[in-house]
Amino acid sequence: MPFKNIACANAQVASSLHGNIEVGTALDNVEQLVEEQALDPLRSDK
């Protein structure tokens, strides 16, 4: 059944996109934390 294969392919693409979005969100969060730490006058890098 070709439709079943298309559905599986679509599910894989959706899963892959979801994973990419999660990675992008995680990187945004890390970037935000780094910026916040750089602006924190009480933070020491000792």
pLDDT tens for the chain, 46 residues: list them: 456 677 677 778 777 877 888 888 999 999 999 898 888 888 776 5
Hey, what are 17's tokens?
A: 């996109």
Separation CA 13–CA 20 (nearest Å): 10
8 Å CB contact between 22 and 29:
no
Separation CA 40–CA 46 (nearest Å): 14
The pLDDT value recorded for residue 30 is: 92
The pLDDT value recorded for residue 1 is: 47
Angle value at C-alpha 20, between 16 and 29, nearest 5 degrees: 155
The pLDDT value recorded for residue 12 is: 80
Hey, what are 25's tokens?
A: 């969100």
